[in-house]
Amino acid sequence: MDQSRSIAGKVCDFISCSKSPASLRFTIDSSKQIKEIRERLDGIEVDVSKFSFKDRVHHHHAINGNVPREREIITHSFNNANSASDVFERDKDKEGIIKALLQNDDFDVIHICGPSGVGKTTLGKLVYNDKMIDETFDIKMWVCFPHEYFEKKIIIDMIYSLTGRIENNMEIDQLQQVLQAILKGKKYLLVLDELSNISSVKSLLSVGAKESKIITIATSQEWNSYQLHWLSNESCLFLFMRCAFKEGKEKNPRLIEIGEEIATKCEGRPLVVKILGSILYFSTDEDDWKYVRDNIVPMRKETKMLSVLKLGYDLLPSHLKQCFVCCSVFPQDDGFNNITLIQFWMANGLLKSDDQNEEPESIGMRYINELRRRCLFQDFEQNVDFISFKMHQLVHVLATQIAQNECFIVDSRRTNYSREGCRHLSVIEADLVKEKVGGSELMRSVLFFEMIKPSQTLIGSCISQFPNLRVLDFRNSDMEVLPESISKLKHLRYLNLTKNIKIRRLPMSIFMLRSLETLLLGGCKELEELPRDIRHLVNLRMLVFSSKQRRLPKNGIGCLTSLRRLGIGSCYNLEYLFQDIGHLQALRTLIIGDCPKLVSLPPGVKDLSSLENLMLLDRKKSERCNLKMEMELQSIKPNLRMLCIDGLPEFNELPRWLLQCSSNTLQWLAIKNCPNFERLPVEPLQILKSLEVLEISNCPKFSSLPEDMHGLTALTELKVRDCPDFSKRCKQGTGEDWPKIDHIPRIELDGKVIKSSDYN
């Protein structure tokens, strides 16, 4: 495997967020809102223990079974923070599946089956997250199968789940070798969401230990499956009341009466209960409640369930309706990240606010939270620099139906879209589009997804046929030259050219796109330079790029005073940044990755008064570069909320300036791949009053914690990986350092969650 290519790809994806990124300014602000939402829902876990709900699951066949852990970065449907509001009447199923998984018999497959919306994936998560599973399996994977089966994509997702690396540039035989090398001899657990027939992948997985297990989650019934059924009326009513009414607030008796009727009509379907209850939570208008009650129809078929779910859509505020519907242009299996979705909404003019000073990124994050509160988004996973989440499959189908021809995904099932009505087009299978697309002045968005390589002819056709485009995504294409005609797209606001590895230069006409807000050039490793004329793109808010140039000129990027996010990645010749970086007074996030010759940060960095998120990633481990960078970090203004240091060989101790200058702001600190990092400072840590997450990874010399860890009163999560001596000292209950950390709500050690309020 080409290691340099692997590293470059990882940094490119991380910086550009094409896979899933976000501005941490908004990520951290939103985390508190998300916490409040979950606290309202998690109260169910306490109260549900008061009820003796009968088990209604019928096992068609007696089986022995089990489920995932980290060597994984979460993909698709999985989210390790499961809301207690999702969990009803499943204890016996969970216990039965875990019991089967823990048996040391030969390779076995367990099928979780049931109709859409019954809670199959939720049950799978409960098993996947269980402590006994972590202790039993060496590695685990969770992969959601797309409706369009691509063997290459599935293997890429498995590797990503295990390593966090996105290996898009390998051939399928190379990918198979990489996957099998990881799995060889390991006792693994694999969860395949939305797939019951494993014959297509089973041969790949045979290299693992014979005790390895697979769980499939699907609607189709297998002979030895766990068949899930709907909730009891009692559980259904309880779940609805907790979703629809504010805890501790006096309830309107009339609404309670109507709510009881609604819950009964939901026929025990947890997805329907949660969505209708959560949407009615925002209305005290009796007419709204009656509207829902009177229009619920029997849901014997999925189409009828969709008509009931649409009642929730009907009650959405108008500003959320259009944003929700536009989500249907993204493949359901890929999920979302807050950066990409917000940039998409922004480019299409969907973000509105009464406050003229509210940043569009903040508006977008508010919209995401509002849709989450209504259970239209789910499975939120917060990372250092982004939030990933998804839609339930039925909710995505609902959005697609409401959109009709306005949003269209080209795949093997749907190849002919309406030229007259289509406004947002995404392509999953480029061969089906051939060499041209039908034109329409209504078209606003065209997106080609990760596995697709649109031809030069097709690219030219898109540009010429759709003059009013706002969004154009040509990531990972085979184009060698971006057509000069790109300048005709006067309204273009979002242009994604990530991983166009053959592009050597940008046409000068690109700098006539004065409306452009997002330009993504990460992974364009043959790009000779980023021309100085980029200064004309005065509305750019997000810029990510790779290039071969040695220095970035003055009066180029430094003139882009609207920039909020800047990512510089895989610039292997770069020695100097632009000296006028201090002019970027609105910059919130700065990410520099794999620039091994970069000598220093320019003095102007100290003038970035709005900078809140700083990430330095140096996988090449250039010692000269790292030493200079560490010294100049001391010039950063004291507003950092997040600091990530990754791959600095000479970095050995947390700088004192950080404690002194960011004591009231720093919320997330991550130190990774620093072989000489030994300790946190001995001096009191209590001054880091805002620190919520501390992450230390692959720092082999890091061996112990200071005595005053209890002084970090805001700390809610500690993650440590590949620090052997420290891992021994943190053994739960008996390790020397355990008393120092036992107060932290969530502790993850070498990929295993050893303590969590949600962890069994």
Task: Note the pLDDT tens digit of each residue in 740-760.
Answer: 999 999 999 887 888 886 544
Number of Cβ within 10 Å of residue 192's Cβ equals: 25
Number of Cβ within 10 Å of residue 504's Cβ equals: 12
CA–CA distance, 447 with 339 (Å, rounded to integer): 16
Strand ranges inside 406-527, DSSP E = 407-410, 424-427, 445-448, 471-473, 494-496, 518-521
Any idea which residue has 């009642």 for tokens?
Answer: 311
Better pLDDT: 578 or 432: 578
pLDDT, position 66 = 26
pLDDT, position 87 = 62
Region class of 579: left (phi > 0), else alpha (psi between -120 and 50), else beta: alpha
Better pLDDT: 63 or 84: 84
Q: What is the model's pTM?
A: 0.84
| For residue 49, pLDDT beyond 70 | no
Which among 342, 284, 277 has a CA at the least distance from the CA of 308? 277
pLDDT category, 167, cuts 50, 70, 90?
Answer: confident
Strand ranges inside 342-470, DSSP E = 378-382, 387-390, 407-410, 424-427, 445-448
pLDDT, position 149 = 58
CA–CA distance, 288 with 255 (Å, rounded to integer): 10
Q: Which two tokens stand for residue 675?
A: 């072989």
Calculate ∠ Cα 393-144-101, nearest 5°. 115
**Rg value, the chain, Cα:** 26
CA–CA distance, 112 with 105 (Å, rounded to integer): 19
pLDDT, position 414 = 63
| For residue 259, pLDDT beyond 60 | yes
pLDDT category, 46, cuts 50, 70, 90?
Answer: very low
How many helices and strands, by DSSP H and E, does the chain display?
Answer: 22, 25
Mention every residue, 6+ apart, whose C-beta is less than 8 A from residue 208: 183, 184, 185, 186, 187, 188
User: For the chain, how many residues are written?
Assistant: 760
Average pLDDT of span 295-308 = 92
**409, 331 Cβ separation under 8 angstroms:** yes
Dump pLDDT digits (tens) for 493-512.
Answer: 999 999 999 999 999 999 99
| Strands 542-545 and 565-569, sheet pairing | parallel
Which among 245, 273, 16, 264 has a CA at the least distance from the CA of 122? 273
pLDDT, position 273 = 96
Better pLDDT: 116 or 659: 116
pLDDT, position 652 = 82
pLDDT category, 134, cuts 50, 70, 90?
Answer: confident
CA–CA distance, 629 with 623 (Å, rounded to integer): 10
pLDDT, position 758 = 58
**Region of poorest pLDDT, from 312-316, 363-367, 428-432, 578-582:** 428-432
Q: How far is CA 708 from each of CA 642, 699, 741, 747, 754, rounded to the nearest angstrom?
A: 22, 21, 10, 17, 21
Dump pLDDT digits (tens) for 653-662.
Answer: 877 766 677 7
pLDDT category, 131, cuts 50, 70, 90?
Answer: confident
**Region of poorest pLDDT, from 155-169, 390-404, 560-574:** 155-169
pLDDT category, 622, cuts 50, 70, 90?
Answer: low
Helix (H) or strand (E) holding 477: none
Calculate ∠ Cα 118-139-132, nearest 5°. 65
Number of Cβ within 10 Å of residue 745's Cβ equals: 12
CA–CA distance, 169 with 167 (Å, rounded to integer): 6
Under DSSP, the state recorded for 641 is S
Number of Cβ within 10 Å of residue 660's Cβ equals: 10
| For residue 57, pLDDT beyond 50 | no
Better pLDDT: 652 or 723: 723
**399, 656 Cβ separation under 8 angstroms:** no
| The amino acid at 668 | W
**Region of poorest pLDDT, from 61-65, 474-478, 727-731:** 61-65
| For residue 570, pLDDT beyond 70 | yes
Mention every residue, 6+ apart, whose C-beta is less than 8 A from residue 327: 336, 341, 391, 396, 399
pLDDT, position 296 = 96
pLDDT, position 601 = 81
Under DSSP, the state recorded for 689 is T
Better pLDDT: 605 or 496: 496
pLDDT category, 33, cuts 50, 70, 90?
Answer: very low
Phi, psi angle pair for 55, to nearest 5°: -80, 125
| For residue 60, pLDDT beyond 50 | no
pLDDT, position 69 = 25
Region class of 621: left (phi > 0), else alpha (psi between -120 and 50), else beta: left
pLDDT category, 439, cuts 50, 70, 90?
Answer: low
pLDDT category, 459, cuts 50, 70, 90?
Answer: confident
pLDDT category, 1, cuts 50, 70, 90?
Answer: very low
| Highest mean pLDDT of the ranges 78-92, 261-275, 681-695 | 261-275
pLDDT, position 450 = 63
**679, 702 Cβ separation under 8 angstroms:** yes
Mention every residue, 6+ apart, whose C-beta is less than 8 A from residue 197: none
pLDDT, position 38 = 45
| For residue 73, pLDDT beyond 50 | no
Dump pLDDT digits (tens) for 380-392.
Answer: 988 777 899 999 9
Q: Which domains does the chain have, with CATH numbers?
A: 19-51+232-403 (no CATH), 57-227 (3.40.50.300), 621-760 (3.80.10)
| For residue 287, pLDDT beyond 70 | yes
Better pLDDT: 684 or 345: 345
Mention every residue, 6+ apart, whose C-beta is less than 8 A from residue 429: 148, 410, 411, 412, 452
Dump pLDDT digits (tens) for 359-403.
Answer: 999 999 999 999 999 999 999 988 777 899 999 999 999 999 999
| For residue 27, pLDDT beyond 60 | no
Q: What is the mean pLDDT of the chain?
A: 82
The b-or-e profile of 103-133 (16+ CB within 10 A means b, else e) is eeeeebbbbbbbbebbbbbbbbbbbbbbeeb
**Region of poorest pLDDT, from 214-218, 380-384, 516-520:** 380-384
**Region of poorest pLDDT, from 32-36, 229-233, 451-455, 731-735:** 32-36
| Highest mean pLDDT of the ranges 7-16, 535-544, 623-632 | 535-544
| Highest mean pLDDT of the ranges 40-54, 62-76, 164-178 | 164-178
